[in-house]
């Protein structure tokens, strides 16, 4: 299959696809979102529900998205249209991929802003570390992050960044330039090359940070919080509550959060796996590849928790501190620990690697579709135009995060006070960036639901069996049962709970 520029649009090897797919799945969802969501929802009990959601729902949907992409060999939208027509069904089924592609676009408008914060922290910690080395020589490496400053100053780094929209927009723009530059070079020259270097470096850094956390941090409490499962609720040293298994089963918000994390982290429903699947070779073992991606993504999330929670507990900080865990709680922890400056910088470099490998996948979904429509060599132009649109909306997202009060002085603007659809309970009090994030939390499961229905009920049994290539009929039968019954039912229940029951009846 030839691309618009005559490039052979297939991964050069199985390893290249695995690295690219893992890179697309492993992102800020693992390093930023997973730890704080786990912290808010009780640690071990949440992790158990998360793993079950990945196995029972995540992996079957991942297999479905990959086989749709490989079978169609086009963009996510084009592949669904092609398969639907081959099955004698309506091309309207492509709405599922439209939801996913739009979801990817929307996600990148705020994902790139958060990735910009990561870049800002890399620069801040690196600058502080170099200053320490310049002042004290190699002994400066032993200092904590932001040595010489007060804990209040360290904690205020995020507020200072949010209070400076120009700096936020600069780093957001820099991140988008890097993303566009990689995607514009195509599958082999851009995406493959990037992940070939970035993913091995990512895993090395992650293992180094885990070793540091387990040696320097509160290993026992961190491991117990992340992996220990209790029946009842318990109180943590900081006074916050750790939810147990009974609470998780009774409170649908925990299971809803677990499934939402599985979708966000693996990238399900966002059309990116179908897009990457279109570049898969026909002889590649699809079920095995899906398992590797799912295991790697889930493993990275848990391992990232091992790199974070021992450090958080060692400093007596709160594991359930929400989205600020990565940008306020962790810098405070690195501030108070020996060699914290060096390992703090390594952590944020790690987060940047994770962010960029996911962002190129999110941008590729739209770029491939545009290339498909133009039928010409417009990859650079397509990536640049889409990237510019994302950058523009990202500016508004950044402006919505500027504090309403800075140093006691009111700082209200249209963008940090505007709450789109704020009259609805589901989006009450949410400024633009929070609103778009909440919207994608709905879009991805809906797209995943339709994907499961399409793969399980629209695609014929013979087509699915041939396209996926399970090595045993037993495993195909199990997948077929899950994708037909368990996945749609589970996703539908969570959608109803999170969009209707929780906001309208439980608040």
Helix axes 59-72, 432-453, angle to 10 degrees: 80
Q: How far is CA 362 from CA 106, 108, 228, 269, 353, in A?
A: 9, 7, 34, 12, 15
Domain limits of the chain? 14-505
How confident is the prediction along the chain (507 residues), in pLDDT tens digits per residue? 344 444 447 898 889 999 999 999 888 878 888 888 888 887 888 899 999 999 999 999 999 999 999 999 999 999 999 999 999 999 999 998 999 999 999 999 999 999 999 999 999 999 999 988 988 887 778 888 898 899 999 989 999 999 999 999 999 999 999 999 999 998 888 999 999 999 999 999 999 999 999 998 999 998 998 998 887 787 776 666 677 788 777 777 888 888 888 888 888 899 999 999 999 999 999 999 999 999 999 999 899 889 998 998 888 877 766 677 889 888 998 998 888 899 999 999 999 999 999 999 999 999 999 988 887 667 899 999 999 999 999 999 999 999 999 888 999 999 999 999 988 888 999 999 999 999 998 899 999 999 999 999 999 999 999 999 999 999 999 999 999 999 999 999 989 988 888 887 766
Selection from 405, 407, 428, 432 nearest residue 418 by Cα: 432
**Residue in the structure block whose two tokens are 């958060």:** 114
Q: What is the pLDDT of residue 338?
A: 87
Torsion angles phi and psi, residue 8, rounded to 5: -75, 100
Q: Which two tokens stand for residue 399?
A: 């402006």
Q: Which two tokens stand for residue 104?
A: 């990817």
User: Per residue in 303-320, pLDDT tens?
Assistant: 988 999 899 888 887 776
pTM as predicted: 0.93
Query: Residue 406 pairs with which residues in a beta bridge?
Result: 409
In CATH, the architecture of 14-505 is Up-down Bundle (1.20)
Q: Which two tokens stand for residue 498?
A: 């999170």
Torsion angles phi and psi, residue 193, rounded to 5: -60, -45
Q: Which H or E run includes 207?
A: helix 193-216
Torsion angles phi and psi, residue 2, rounded to 5: -105, 140
Q: Is 428 helix (H, G, I), strand (E, B) or coil?
A: coil
Q: Which two tokens stand for residue 58?
A: 């995540």
Torsion angles phi and psi, residue 129, rounded to 5: -65, -45
Query: Residue 410 pairs with which residues in a beta bridge?
Result: 405
Q: Is 84 helix (H, G, I), strand (E, B) or coil?
A: helix
């Amino acid at each position: 299959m030839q691309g618009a520029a005559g490039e052979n649009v297939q991964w050069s090897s199985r390893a290249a696809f695995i690295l690219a797919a893992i890179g697309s799945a492993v992102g800020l969802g693992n390093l930023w979102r997973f730890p704080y969501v786990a912290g808010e929802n009780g640690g071990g009990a949440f992790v158990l529900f998360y793993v079950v959601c990945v196995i029972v729902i995540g992996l079957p949907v991942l297999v479905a998205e990959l086989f749709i992409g490989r079978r169609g060999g086009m963009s996510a939208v084009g592949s669904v249209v092609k398969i639907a027509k081959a099955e004698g069904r309506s091309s309207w089924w492509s709405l599922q991929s439209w939801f996913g592609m739009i979801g990817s676009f929307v996600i990148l408008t705020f994902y790139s802003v958060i990735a910009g914060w990561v870049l800002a922290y890399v620069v801040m910690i690196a600058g502080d570390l170099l200053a320490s080395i310049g002042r004290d020589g190699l002994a400066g490496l032993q200092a904590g992050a932001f040595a010489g400053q007060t804990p209040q100053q360290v904690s205020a780094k995020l507020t200072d960044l949010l209070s400076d929209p120009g700096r936020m927009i600069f780093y957001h723009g820099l991140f988008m330039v890097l993303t566009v530059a990689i995607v514009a070079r195509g599958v082999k020259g851009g995406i493959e090359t990037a992940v070939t270097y970035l993913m091995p470096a990512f895993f090395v850094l992650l293992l180094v940070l885990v070793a540091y956390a387990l040696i320097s941090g509160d290993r026992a409490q961190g491991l117990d919080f992340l992996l220990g499962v209790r029946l009842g609720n318990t109180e943590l040293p900081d006074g916050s509550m750790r939810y147990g298994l009974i609470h998780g089963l009774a409170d649908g918000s925990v299971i809803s959060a677990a499934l939402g994390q599985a979708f966000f982290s693996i990238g399900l429903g966002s059309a990116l796996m179908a897009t990457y699947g279109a570049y898969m070779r026909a002889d590649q073992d699809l079920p095995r590849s899906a398992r590797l991606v799912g295991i790697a993504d889930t493993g990275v999330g848990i391992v990232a928790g091992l790199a974070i929670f021992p450090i958080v507990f060692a400093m007596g900080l709160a594991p359930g501190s929400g989205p600020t865990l990565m940008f306020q709680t962790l810098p405070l922890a690195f501030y108070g620990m020996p060699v914290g400056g060096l390992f703090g910088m390594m952590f944020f470099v790690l987060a940047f690697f994770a962010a960029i490998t996911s962002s190129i996948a999110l941008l590729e979904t739209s770029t491939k579709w545009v290339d498909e429509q133009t039928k010409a060599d417009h990859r650079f132009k397509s990536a640049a135009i889409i990237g510019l649109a994302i950058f523009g909306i990202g500016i508004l997202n950044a402006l919505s995060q500027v504090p309403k009060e800075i140093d006691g002085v009111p700082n209200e603007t249209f963008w940090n006070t505007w709450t789109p659809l704020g009259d609805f309970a589901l989006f009450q009090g949410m400024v633009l960036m929070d609103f778009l994030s909440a919207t994608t939390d709905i879009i991805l499961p809906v797209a995943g639901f339709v994907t499961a229905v399409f793969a399980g009920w629209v695609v014929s049994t013979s087509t699915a069996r041939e396209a996926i290539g399970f090595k045993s009929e037993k495993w195909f039968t199990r997948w077929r049962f899950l994708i037909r019954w368990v996945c749609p039912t589970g996703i539908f229940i969570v959608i109803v709970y999170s969009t209707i029951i929780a906001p309208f009846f439980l608040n």
